Chains A and B, each alone.
Chain A
Amino acid sequence: MPELPVEIPIPTPHQAVFIMVAVATSVASLLVVTNRNLFYSALCLVGALFGVAGVYVLLEAEFLAIAQVLVYVGAIATLITFAIMLTRGIMFGTTSPNNRHMFAVMSMALLVFLLVAGLVDRVPWAVAEDLTLSGDGKSLIVDLGWEFVTTYALPLELIGLLLLIALVGAVMLARDDE
């Protein structure tokens, strides 16, 4: 068998999974913002959110992956789907889903992507030499909980209050009085 002129890198299983998850998430994200039908957009959003949960698993942040599925997919995506159905009649609109700045915005978004993508290779990010995680997943979750009630106690309190305000305020704005 003749030698190939270039060496084709064979991805490790980990990399192969990443490539699949990344491609799926990217396609789903693109569909969210390009689909004409809002309902399909919402379904694609659920897909993208699951993909992001997969990315967290690959990054060994399992707790976050669970939180992502529970809060984002379970609550936020459902809420959005409900809102779409409540405001139906616009779901299958015949008018354009985009405003007149569409092309300017598209080039701006492309520019942002190229800027950041060009940047990531050129910056000396604060990266550790040794990438193995100390401790197992369980101790990480214990540490995470500990951080929340010690270092981050104050923001945690505030966010609790914020969720209360958001809940009460949302009910107040959205409920039907009659």
Chain B
Amino acid sequence: MVPLQAYLTLAAFIFSCGLYGALARRNAIAMLMAVELMLNAVNINLVAFWRYGPNREDLAGQTFAIFVIAVAAAEVAVGLALVIAIYRSRKTVYLDEIDLLQG
């Protein structure tokens, strides 16, 4: 059996990758991809905790993971639509060039 800690460390690594990408990238779509990595790390955590946890029969961790996947789908759809709406008028998806609002 693989220890629980191995899964958590893997998730931590993916989460950190995602965090780095989400904050360091300039491209809005690249940031979105990084956020997806973060959500996947979350799901690994949830499923691992479910598998090793005391209340496996209530399936809480798995259920939560499925909810996360569904919300992620909604989030991506809305996010990409916003990106495309911006791109259409500004011809850029670099966040530091999207700067009408500042002060």
Contacts and interface: CB of A to CB of B under 8 A. Distances in A.
Direct interface between A and B, CB < 8 A: yes
A87 B37 contact: no
Contacts, number: 248
Contacts of B77: 79, 166-167, 170
A162 B62 contact: no
Contacts of A61: 47, 50-51, 62, 65
A109 B95 contact: no
Nearest to A173: B81
B56 A174 contact: no
B63 A71 contact: no
Given A105-B24, A128-B53, A25 B47 contact: no
Decide if the interface of chain A is mainly helix, strand, loop or mixed.
helix
A112 B10 CA distance: 13
Interface string A41-53: 1100100110010
Q: Which bucket holds chain A's interface residue count?
A: 35 or more
Size bin of chain B's contact surface: 35 or more
Interface in A33-80: 33, 38, 41-42, 45, 48-49, 52, 55-56, 58-61, 63-64, 67-68, 71-72, 75-76, 79-80
Interface in B6-38: 6-10, 12-21, 23-27, 29-30, 32-34, 36-37
Interface of A: 12, 14-15, 18, 22, 25-26, 29-30, 32-33, 38, 41-42, 45, 48-49, 52, 55-56, 58-61, 63-64, 67-68, 71-72, 75-76, 79-80, 83-84, 86-87, 89-90, 95-99, 101-102, 105-106, 108-110, 112-113, 116-117, 120-121, 125-128, 131, 133-134, 140, 143-144, 147-148, 151-152, 155, 159, 162-163, 165-167, 169-174, 176
